[in-house]
A = this chain, B = another copy of it.
Amino acid sequence: MTTIHQVAKQAGVSVATVSRVLNGQNSVTAKTRIKVEDAIKKLNYEPSLLGRNLRNSESRLLLVLIPNISNPFYSEIINGIENTAIELGYNILLCETDTNAERENIYFDLVRKKMADGIISMDPAVNTDSLIRLAENHAIIQCSEYAVDSGIPYVTIDNAQAAYRAVKHLIKIGHQRIALINSDKKFLYARQRQLGYQKALEENDMGLEDSLIVHTKGLDFSYGQQAMKKILMQKERPTAIFAVSDLLAIGALKEIHNQGLRVPEDIAIIGFDKIAFSNMTHPTLTTISQPMYEMGKAAADMLVKKIQGEEVESLILEHELVIRESTLG
Give A residues with C-beta under 8 Å from B. Answer: 1, 46-51, 53-54, 57, 59, 61, 63, 68-70, 72, 74-75, 78-79, 82, 86, 91, 93-96, 98, 103, 106-107, 109-110, 112-115, 220-221, 225, 250-251, 254, 257, 276-277, 279-280, 282
Query: What chain B residues lie within 8 Å of A61 (beta carbons)?
Result: 115
Q: Report chain B residues within 8 Å CB of A91.
A: 106-107, 110
Sample of 14 A–B contacts (CB below 8 Å): A46-B112, A48-B54, A49-B115, A50-B50, A50-B54, A50-B115, A54-B54, A69-B74, A69-B75, A69-B94, A93-B93, A221-B277, A257-B282, A277-B277
The chain B residue with its CB closest to the CB of A53 is B50
Closest to A75 in B: B70
**The one of B96, B110, B115, B221 that contacts A82, using a Cβ cutoff of 8 Å:** B96
> Which residues of B have CB within 8 Å of A225?
280
Residue of B nearest to A257 (CB): B282
- With a cutoff of 8 Å between Cβ atoms, the chain B residues found around residue A57 in the complex are 1, 50
Contact of A47 among B59, B75, B113, B279 (CB under 8 A): B113
With both chains docked as a complex, state the minimum distance between the C-beta of A177 and any C-beta of chain B, in angstroms: 24
**7 tightest A-B CB contacts, nearest first:** A70-B75, A94-B94, A93-B93, A49-B113, A50-B54, A46-B112, A48-B114
* A250 neighbours in B (Cβ, 8 Å): 277, 280
Q: Which residues of B contact A74 (CB under 8 A)?
A: 69
> CB-nearest residue of chain B relative to A258?
B282
Say how far A88's CB is from chain B's closest CB, in angstroms: 13
- CB contacts (< 8 Å) of A48 on chain B: these are 54, 113-114
Q: Which B-chain residue is minimally distant from A47 (CB atoms)?
A: B113
Supply 6 further A-B pairs (C-beta < 8 A) apart from A49-B113, A63-B93, A250-B280. Answer: A50-B57, A50-B59, A82-B98, A221-B277, A225-B280, A254-B282
Docked-complex contact B69 and A110, CB < 8 angstroms: no
Given contacts A53-B50, A69-B74, A70-B72, is CB(A221)–CB(B276) below 8 Å? yes
A35 CB to closest chain B CB, in angstroms?
Answer: 23
